[in-house]
Amino acid sequence: MSEDCIFCKIVAGELPSKQFHQDDLVTAFQDISEQAPLHVLIVPNQHFKDVGEMGDAQAEILGRIAQVAGQLATQEGVASNGWRLVTNVGRDGGQEVFHTHFHLLGGRPLGPLLAR
Ligand code: AMP
Ligand code: ZN
């Protein structure tokens, strides 16, 4: 638990969220400012500032995030049309909350990821 981290507080249930999933390793909850009909954040329960800080020792956590993303996509009805899983790192990546999180997006055509 990192003091003053909003995602640590959401994981701990100290801040409200619409929760989609929680297990021993990860928590999934709705993004407060949805960019798509389905916009869920999947986070490790443990605090890491970004995915670049996670390595071999966190392989199980990263695997669980991918697995939960697929399960939620199916559960929420976007699996057949497709979805996106993306994580931002640092200033140029557009990261605003410094607790690793993966955006699960779906429910509309998401367009090209990269502006050319
Ligand atoms: P990023 O720019 O990748 O760091 O994304 C941070 C995301 O966290 C944004 O999409 C915000 O809308 C979302 N966010 C910020 N505060 C909350 C909160 N209290 N509950 C849910 N999502 C949040
Ligand atoms: Zn945190």
Does 54 reside within a domain? yes
Tell me, in angstroms, the distance from the centre of ligand 2 to residue 100's CA. Answer: 8
Does 92 reside within a domain? yes
Does 111 reside within a domain? no
Provide the number of structural domains found in the chain: 1
Range of the domain at 61: 4-104
Does 91 reside within a domain? yes
Q: Is 114 helix (H, G, I), strand (E, B) or coil?
A: coil
pTM value > 0.95: yes
Tell me, in angstroms, the distance from the centre of ligand 2 to residue 99's CA. Answer: 5
CA distance 94 to 69: 21
Q: What is the pLDDT of residues 68-107, one digit of tens each?
A: 999 999 999 999 999 999 999 999 999 999 999 999 999 9
Does 114 reside within a domain? no
CA distance 74 to 65: 14
Q: What is the CATH number of the domain that holds 28?
A: 3.30.428.10
Could you tell which of 32, 40, 84, 102 is best to mutate to test the pocket of ligand 1, judged by most ligand atoms within 8 Å of the CB?
Answer: 32
Q: Are 103 and 110 in contact (CB under 8 A)?
A: no
Does 34 reside within a domain? yes
